[in-house]
């Protein structure tokens, strides 16, 4: 039985998700004795590490002090956190660039044309920098500009109320309807609070998406916050698997390439559940599709609700959303399919029924045409 130390914060959803992935690996394959103590992000390294003698370490390195202590143990170690300095440990993390691209795609699909970013100042946190850079790049590539919040100059750090006042002033001056990416869910809560302070309607005037899918935080927000699920269980599982190979005498740390795990996708809640358009008929059609696509909705039902001919509505939807009426219905259904495939215990047949598809065969054909995978392949890859 190998003895493995886990230096991973237990205070946030990201760290707890990683621990679930490690636990899954340990139950099925590892058979480790694990040493872990509850602690928060950015806490100093624990004193017990100085005298610890085990076989391996899984760690989220947040300081040079922690890195030096881990290195002095002279046992295999895997780092699960992007750091400003380069440390001599193999690295496993979510693909933060894909997170930024995913957030941009999510907001662009809603017909938004104005975008902004709220996160830490550049250079403070490499993880957030990578997410935000990819978001901004994707928005610019799509032909739009992107504002970035900048803290007002001050001789001392801003307190909570001062920070929220500055954020409120910034948000209400931006063009609308607006899509904002928050670097993580904590920043998403701040943005939504600022919108309430200046009476901006969410999501109709400002749509917000965060990152990490920390469910208590997302549900605490008013309205509930949409967020990208970074697939932390897979990160933990991959890191545990890598450490096991290293402890068994596998490749040396310098020969191990960084592993970047794909995020699961956007968990859409009320904060971004909108189609932004100055064309009221298109907006009404999109809202009707969003609310009814998974209840056997047909194109003819949408036309009856809006009171327009197919040719007229079709042309306007393609011009504004880049999709036909039928394609928008299928997009909403496929989003539901992806979400329900990740729910434990549901059969593929149940997923098809809840998503509004008449049969598993039809759902599989449509899903494969869009994603290149069958629903079963998608589920197995995401939940491995």
Coil vs helix vs strand at 126: helix
pLDDT of residue 383: 65
pLDDT of residue 252: 62
Residues 44 and 141 in one domain: no
Q: Which residues contact 13 (CB under 8 A, 6 or more apart)?
A: 185, 212, 213, 214, 215, 216, 217, 232
Residues 139 and 166 in one domain: yes
Q: What is the CATH number of the domain that holds 209?
A: 3.40.50.2300
Residues 344 and 369 in one domain: yes
Distance CA 376, CA 360 (A): 11
Distance CA 296, CA 317 (A): 20
Distance CA 188, CA 180 (A): 9
Distance CA 94, CA 134 (A): 14
User: Hey, what are 353's tokens?
Assistant: 């029924």
pLDDT of residue 384: 59
Residues 102 and 17 in one domain: no
> What is the domain range of residue 340?
280-382
Residues 193 and 291 in one domain: no
What is the rounded end-to-end Cα distance, in angstroms, of the chain?
A: 24
DSSP E strand boundaries for 230-317 = 259-261, 265-267
289 contacts 324 by C-beta, under 8 angstroms: no
Distance CA 166, CA 355 (A): 42
Distance CA 168, CA 191 (A): 8
Residues 247 and 188 in one domain: no
Distance set, CA 174 to CA 151, 187, 273 (Å): 15, 17, 20
Residues 81 and 127 in one domain: no
Distance set, CA 286 to CA 2, 188, 273, 316, 336 (Å): 55, 25, 10, 12, 16
259-261 and 265-267 beta bridge pairing: unpaired
353 contacts 363 by C-beta, under 8 angstroms: no
Dihedral over alpha carbons 28, 30, 33, 35 (to 10 degrees): -100
Residues 165 and 114 in one domain: yes
Residues 314 and 375 in one domain: yes
Q: What is the CATH number of the domain that holds 372?
A: 1.10.10.60
User: Hey, what are 258's tokens?
Assistant: 């960084």
DSSP code for 27: I
Residues 118 and 211 in one domain: yes
Residues 29 and 102 in one domain: no
At what angle are helices 280-292 and 325-341 packed, to 10 degrees? 40
pLDDT of residue 321: 79
Residues 82 and 39 in one domain: yes
pLDDT of residue 338: 86
Distance CA 65, CA 44 (A): 8
Q: What is the residue-level pLDDT of the chain in tens, covering all 384 positions?
A: 899 999 998 888 999 999 999 999 999 998 899 988 887 777 888 888 888 889 999 999 888 888 888 988 899 999 998 765 567 789 899 999 999 999 999 999 888 889 999 999 988 888 999 999 999 999 999 999 999 998 877 667 788 899 999 999 999 999 999 999 999 999 999 999 999 999 999 988 999 999 999 999 999 999 999 999 999 999 999 999 999 999 998 766 666 788 999 998 998 888 998 877 668 888 889 889 988 999 989 999 999 999 999 999 999 988 887 889 999 999 889 988 988 887 778 899 999 999 999 899 999 999 999 889 999 988 887 765
Number of domains in the chain: 3
At what angle are helices 96-108 and 126-141 packed, to 10 degrees? 40
């Amino acid at each position: 039985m190998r003895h493995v130390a886990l230096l991973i914060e237990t205070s946030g959803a990201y760290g707890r998700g990683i621990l679930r992935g490690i636990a899954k690996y340990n139950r099925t394959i590892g058979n480790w004795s694990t040493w872990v103590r509850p602690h928060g992000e950015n806490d100093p390294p624990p004193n017990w590490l100085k005298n610890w003698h085990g076989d391996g370490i899984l760690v989220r390195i947040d300081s040079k002090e922690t890195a030096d202590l881990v290195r002095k143990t002279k046992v295999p170690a895997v780092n699960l956190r992007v750091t400003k300095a380069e440390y001599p440990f193999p690295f496993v993390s979510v693909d933060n660039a894909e997170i930024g691209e995913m957030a941009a795609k999510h907001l662009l699909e809603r017909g938004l044309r104005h975008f902004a970013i709220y996160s830490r100042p550049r250079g403070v946190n490499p993880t957030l920098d990578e997410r935000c850079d990819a978001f901004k790049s994707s928005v610019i590539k799509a032909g739009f500009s992107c504002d970035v919040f900048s803290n007002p100059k001050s001789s001392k750090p801003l307190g909570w109320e001062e920070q929220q006042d500055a954020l409120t002033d910034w948000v209400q001056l931006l063009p609308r309807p607006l899509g904002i990416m928050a670097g993580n869910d904590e920043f998403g809560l701040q943005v939504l609070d600022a919108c309430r302070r200046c009476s901006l309607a969410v999501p109709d005037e400002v749509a917000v998406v965060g990152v990490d899918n920390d469910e208590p935080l997302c549900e605490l927000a008013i309205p509930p916050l949409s967020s990208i699920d970074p697939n932390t269980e897979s990160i933990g599982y991959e890191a545990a698997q890598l450490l096991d190979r290293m402890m068994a005498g596998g490749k040396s740390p310098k020969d191990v390439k960084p592993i970047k795990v794909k995020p699961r996708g956007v968990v859409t809640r009320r904060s971004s559940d909108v189609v932004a358009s100055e064309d009221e008929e298109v907006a009404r059609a999109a809202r009707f599709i969003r609310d009814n696509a998974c209840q056997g909705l047909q194109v003819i039902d949408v036309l009856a609700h809006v009171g327009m001919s197919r040719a007229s509505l079709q042309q306007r939807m393609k011009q504004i959303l880049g999709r036909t009426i039928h394609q928008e219905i299928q997009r909403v259904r496929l989003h539901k399919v992806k979400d329900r495939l990740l729910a434990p215990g549901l059969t593929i047949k149940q997923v098809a029924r809840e998503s509004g598809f008449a049969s598993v065969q039809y759902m599989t054909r449509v899903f494969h045409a869009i994603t290149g995978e069958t629903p079963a392949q998608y589920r197995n890859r995401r939940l491995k």
